[in-house]
Amino acid sequence: MVLAAYDLWAFVSENRDELLDGLLNTLKVSAFAIAGAFAIGLVLGAARAHRIPVVSQLTAVYVEVIRNTPILLQIFMIFFALPQFGILLDQFTVAWLTVMIWGGAFNSENFRAGFLAVSYRYREAGYALGFSPLSTFLNVTLPIGGRIALPSSINTYISVVKNTSLMFVIGYAELTTTALNISNLSLETLEALTVLGVVYLALVSTLSASIRVLESRLALPESG
């Protein structure tokens, strides 16, 4: 066991710079994708919850397509199909764009469910205070529905981070691609995969714990 730990430490020490670069790229893609998935989910979730004409129907189609097709297919469509129409994107853009689109579809359902769970009495109270429909949404529905949607959104953001590992199929130098390239050159496959697993576990656990703290601070007070 001590020898195995030494081998892992030696592997990390020898490939520290490459692994750090891969981790940084993973973090960059994750940050862009999570921010975009939050914005998409919020806007489209609100559109569906309030049944805004046309937008609601188009959003439903978007969600169904993304949720019912493999994300690998979505990666290939953006990376290989878009150039056929003259749209050329670098690997980094393909990486965060694909995961953002995927996460946005799932997150829109999280927000839609959260907004629909807000009691109509709260909205009626907003109207009684003279709020417009937009003001009622911003001051009543959004704060309450956003809190309700937070737990399921956390799971979506965690999946976004883990799905960045699929970018090895387009050769983007995120953490998984970097670890696999190192293992191919050094033949230290077990060490590479173990380090990869440990880093992802630490990364996702840290993200989850951080958002759980936020969730506890934003938790709705229990009635009664």
Could you tell me which CATH number the domain at 2-218 has?
Answer: 1.10.3720.10
- The amino acid occupying position 51 is R
- Model pLDDT, residue 53: 86
Nearest-angstrom CA–CA distance, 214 and 192:
33
pLDDT value, residue 184: 84
Burial 38-64 (b: 16+ CB within 10 A, else e): bebbbebbbbbbeeeeeebeebeebbe
- Token reading at 155: 């799971």
Q: Can you tell me the distance from the alpha carbon of 199 to that of 202, in angstroms, rounded to the nearest whole number?
A: 5
Which residues, 6 or more positions from 110, have their beta carbon under 8 angstroms from its beta carbon? 41, 45, 149, 152, 153, 156
The amino acid at residue 38 is F
Q: What is the DSSP string of 89-101?
A: --HHHHHHHHHHH
| Spatial CA neighbour of 117 closest among 126, 125, 109 | 109
User: CA 64, CA 110: separation in Å to the nearest integer?
Assistant: 14
For the chain, domain boundaries: 2-218
Joined together, the tokens standing for residue 61 give 């189609």
Tokens representing 218 are: 């934003």
What's the pLDDT tens digit per position in 151-187? 899 999 999 999 999 999 999 989 999 988 988 887 7
* Low-confidence residues in the chain, pLDDT < 50: 1-3, 223-224
Chain segment 203-222, per-residue pLDDT in tens: 999 888 887 787 677 665 55
